[in-house]
DNA sequence: GCAAAAGTGTTATCTCTACACCCATGG
DNA sequence: CCATGGGTGTAGAGATAACACTTTTGC
């Protein structure tokens, strides 16, 4: 079916948001993501990633954070550019290039996220049918999260400011979908130097109270592999 | 200095290109990259990354390959999206969002790349002053190449179709800027399963003729970490 | 005291690295 | 037969994984 080629390119910014949620109280947490219902054509009524057109005077990352806030009412603990999707046939009738970001929300805050008829949280690995290529995009973001957790210290972004080692391990287990040895996990984490004892303990447990830690990135060792975030020039 | 905000966003595609070149004949190769001289304002006359505006009916990756071909006259052996740079103040007076790709050229072909008054090859780690934020972009692309070489098998893309293990090691050494143990390198490479003997030997050496290999990706083992290239829908 | 999770110790195994050594070829 | 890089063997250091064991709390 030959369509008349679009005359312009429109630029959108979308965000894939991840947070941990327990299916049932006390059960192991899993990754969930919020979707919004489209209120315009094309694909009116379909579920889609939060996003919108890029205002000419707004930074890309700021636009991503804004759509995130308007969707969930929360600020992300982690936000990074994922990929730019620009296939000619992504959207019928017009050429849309989407710069997609991905974000992590802290656990305690995510519980009181905005809910409404046009926002819906779904498990990240069993998605409903989505608009455009958004299912592919979420799958890619999930892959990025899962691979990045293995070599980077981002898991803490899914927790609150302080957490126990067992809670941190639960995050890893939810993301990686496999059990980890508590003893070895503890040693690996402490050896990384990225954790700092708060001196406090989690109260209210039916057993020995665990220590609380906070994330405190180690002083960058010479020659260490820093993530190298591209330097974006912010508006003056 | 307050400037009047631009009313539209323009979308460009640029490409960082890497190839190996020996400084002197027989010497160890190093990474070089081609630049083009700008023939329009802004930044007229400055050296910049090859690129251009995105035509509404052209795929992003196709646009990157096209600018690469028009700059060097060659086809890339590797091409991947790097990052999208969209800072509000990247370009004076207008809002330009650049989807940047990075590419590798095979060694034998790179030798006969196009040269002209408006194309100039420079060593990738000692750049001249560049237009816009292009120096930052190349630095980021270099970082990506150097980190990706450590966990992925892309080094062969800087060589021809067949190569010796010593030649492959030279690529790694040029990219990583450090010497590698030939014995251990050999074993690691052969164990990866990505190399296949051709049965031929490199002739004309003043000593024992080395075996020639070709790149032949191993059958994907179950649970192996595939690179997961995002699925772009190609034009029908 | 008993259950349960926090936290520690120990050992087998695998991987990485350095380097000694033999092999094959041109001159 | 000699120089040179191709190619193999191997032992020590360090990281990883499995699991036994001790500690500390609530009930």
Tell me the pLDDT tens digit for each residue of A133-148: 999 999 999 999 999 9
Instruction: Give residue B234's pLDDT.
Output: 39
Of B7, B84, B136, the CB nearest to A84: B84
Instruction: Give residue B233's pLDDT.
Output: 42
Mean pLDDT over residues A7-18, rounded? 96
Cβ of residue A150 lies below 7 Å from strand D: no
Looking at the structure, do residues A153 and A179 belong to the same domain, yes or no? no
Residue A232 — very low, low, confident or very high, per pLDDT cuts 50/70/90? low
Query: Would the pLDDT of A236 be above 60?
Result: no
pLDDT tens per residue, range B150-208: 999 999 999 999 999 999 999 999 999 999 999 999 999 999 989 999 999 998 888 88
Query: Would the pLDDT of A2 be above 80?
Result: no
Confirm whether B52 is domain-assigned.
yes
Give contacts of B 106-135 with A, CB under 8 A: 133
CA B19 to chain CA mean position, Å = 7
Instruction: Give residue A222's pLDDT.
Output: 46
Q: Which nucleotides of D are covered by protein (CB under 7 A)?
A: 3-10, 16-20, 23-27
Report how far residue A13's alpha carbon sits from residue A120's, in angstroms, rounded to the nearest whole number.
19
The CATH number given to whatever domain includes residue A46 is 3.90.79.10
Residue A101 contacts by C-beta under 8 Å, 6 or more apart in sequence?
A13, A14, A15, A16, A60, A61, A64, A79, A80, A81, A82
Looking at the structure, do residues A204 and A150 belong to the same domain, yes or no? no
Instruction: Give residue B115's pLDDT.
Output: 81
Residue A5 — very low, low, confident or very high, per pLDDT cuts 50/70/90? low
Q: Which of B78, B84, B90, B9 is nearest to B43 (CA)?
A: B90
Query: Would the pLDDT of B2 be above 90?
Result: no
Query: Would the pLDDT of A35 be above 50?
Result: yes
Q: CA at B170, C1' at C19: how many angstroms apart?
A: 20
Peptide bond into A75 cis (omega under 30): no
- Asked which of A90-94, A192-196, B19-23, B75-79 is least confident by mean pLDDT, the reply is B19-23
Q: Which residues of A109-142 are buried (b: 16+ CB within 10 A; e: fewer)?
A: bbeebeeeeebebeebeebeebbbbbebbbbbbb
Looking at the structure, do residues A218 and A190 belong to the same domain, yes or no? yes
Query: Would the pLDDT of B26 be above 80?
Result: no
Query: Of A136, A159, A182, which residue is a domain's last?
Result: A159
Instruction: Give the count of beta carbons closer than 10 Å to the beta carbon of residue B218.
Output: 12
Report how far residue B210's alpha carbon sits from residue A43's, in angstroms, rounded to the nearest whole number.
60
Mean pLDDT over residues B69-98, rounded? 95
Confirm whether B235 is domain-assigned.
no
Query: Would the pLDDT of A46 be above 80?
Result: yes
Rg (CA), chain A: 20
Mean pLDDT over residues B36-47, rounded? 92
Residue A70 to chain B, least CA–CA distance (Å): 22
Instruction: Give the count of beta carbons closer than 10 Å to the beta carbon of residue B219.
Output: 8
Confirm whether B178 is domain-assigned.
no
CA A113 to chain CA mean position, Å = 14
Give contacts of A 85-104 with B, CB under 8 A: 85-90, 95, 97, 99
Looking at the structure, do residues A210 and A220 belong to the same domain, yes or no? yes
Q: Which of chain B's residues 163-202 bind strand C, using a 7 Å CB cutoff?
A: 181, 183-184, 187-188
Confirm whether A99 is domain-assigned.
yes
Confirm whether A33 is domain-assigned.
yes
Burial class (CB in 10 A: 0-12, 13-18, 19+), B25: exposed
Q: Chain-wide mean pLDDT for chain A?
A: 90
Query: Of A107, A142, A159, which residue is a domain's last?
Result: A159
Looking at residue B117, the DSSP 8-state letter turns out to be T
Confirm whether B41 is domain-assigned.
yes
pLDDT tens per residue, range B203-218: 888 888 999 999 998 6
Q: Which of B221, B225, B9, B46 is nearest to B134 (CA)?
A: B46
Residue A111 contacts by C-beta under 8 Å, 6 or more apart in sequence?
A21
Looking at the structure, do residues A143 and A154 belong to the same domain, yes or no? yes
Query: Of A106, A128, A159, which residue is a domain's last?
Result: A159
Instruction: Give residue B203's pLDDT.
Output: 86
Burial class (CB in 10 A: 0-12, 13-18, 19+), A82: buried
Q: CA at A219, C1' at C10: how many angstroms apart?
A: 31
Looking at the structure, do residues A117 and A75 belong to the same domain, yes or no? yes
Q: Can you tell me which residue has its alpha carbon closest to the C1' of nucleotide D15?
A: A188
The CATH number given to whatever domain includes residue A166 is 1.10.10.10
Of A88, A228, A232, the CB nearest to B143: A228
Cβ of residue B60 closer than 8 Å to a chain A Cβ: yes
Residue B23 contacts by C-beta under 8 Å, 6 or more apart in sequence?
B30
Query: In this prediction, what percent of chain A has a pLDDT beyond 90?
Result: 75
Q: Can you tell me which residue has its alpha carbon closest to the C1' of nucleotide C23?
A: B208
Looking at the structure, do residues A68 and A143 belong to the same domain, yes or no? yes
Looking at the structure, do residues A210 and A98 belong to the same domain, yes or no? no
Question: Mapped to the 3 state alphabet, what secondary structure does chain A carry?
Answer: CCCCCCCCEEEEEEEEEEEEEECCCCCCEEEEEEEEECCCCCCCCCEECCEEECCCCCCHHHHHHHHHHHHHCCCCCEEEEEEEECCCCCECCEEEEEEEEEEECCHHHHCCCCCECCEEEEECCCCCCECCCHHHHHHHHHHHHHHHHHHCCCHHHHCCCEECHHHHHHHHHHHHCCCCCHHHHHHHHHHHCCEEEEEEECCCCCCCCCEEEEECCCCCCCCCCCCCCCCCCCCC
Confirm whether B233 is domain-assigned.
no
Looking at the structure, do residues A30 and A120 belong to the same domain, yes or no? yes
pLDDT tens per residue, range A82-93: 999 999 999 999
Q: How many domains does chain A have?
A: 2
Looking at the structure, do residues A207 and A139 belong to the same domain, yes or no? no
Which range marks the domain in which residue A180 is found?
161-224
Find which nucleotide's C1' atom is closest to A165's CA: C6
pLDDT tens per residue, range A96-136: 999 999 999 998 878 778 888 999 999 999 999 999 999 99
Cβ of residue B75 closer than 8 Å to a chain A Cβ: no
Looking at the structure, do residues A34 and A134 belong to the same domain, yes or no? yes
- Asked which of A40-54, B112-126, B217-231 is least confident by mean pLDDT, the reply is B217-231
Q: Degrees (nearest 5) of the Cα angle A187, A191, A193? A: 135
Q: Which of B47, B31, B50, B49 is nearest to B129 (CA)?
A: B47
Looking at the structure, do residues A37 and A146 belong to the same domain, yes or no? yes
Rg (CA), chain B: 20
Query: Would the pLDDT of A225 be above 70?
Result: no
Confirm whether A4 is domain-assigned.
no
Say if CB B74 and CB B68 are below 8 A apart: yes
Backbone angles phi, psi at B189, to 5 degrees: -65, -50
Q: Can you tell me which residue has its alpha carbon closest to the C1' of nucleotide C8?
A: A183
Residues of B in contact with A233 (CB under 8 A): 87-90, 133
Dmax (CA) of chain B: 69
């Amino acid at each position: 079916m030959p369509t008349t080629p679009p005359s312009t390119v429109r630029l959108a910014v979308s965000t894939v948001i991840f947070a941990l949620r327990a299916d049932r109280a006390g059960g192991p947490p899993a990754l969930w993501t919020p979707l919004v219902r489209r209120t315009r054509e094309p694909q009116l009524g379909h579920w889609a990633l939060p996003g919108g057109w890029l205002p000419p005077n707004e930074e890309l990352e700021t636009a991503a954070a804004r759509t995130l806030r308007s969707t969930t009412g929360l600020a992300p603990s982690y936000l990074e550019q994922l990929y730019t999707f620009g296939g000619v046939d992504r959207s019928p009738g017009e050429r849309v290039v989407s710069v997609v970001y991905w974000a992590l929300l802290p656990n305690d805050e995510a519980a009181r996220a905005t809910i409404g008829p046009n926002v819906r949280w779904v498990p990240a690995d069993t998605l409903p049918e989505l608009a455009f290529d958004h299912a592919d995009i979420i799958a890619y973001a999930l892959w990025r999260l899962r691979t990045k957790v293995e070599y980077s210290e981002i898991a803490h972004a899914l927790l609150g400011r302080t957490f126990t080692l067992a809670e941190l391990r639960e995050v890893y287990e939810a993301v990686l979908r496999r059990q980890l040895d508590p003893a070895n996990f503890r040693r690996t984490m402490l050896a990384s130097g990225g954790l700092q004892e708060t001196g406090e303990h989690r109260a209210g447990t039916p057993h020995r109270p665990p220590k609380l830690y906070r994330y405190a990135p180690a002083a960058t060792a010479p020659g260490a592999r820093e993530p190298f975030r591209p330097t974006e020039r912010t508006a003056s």
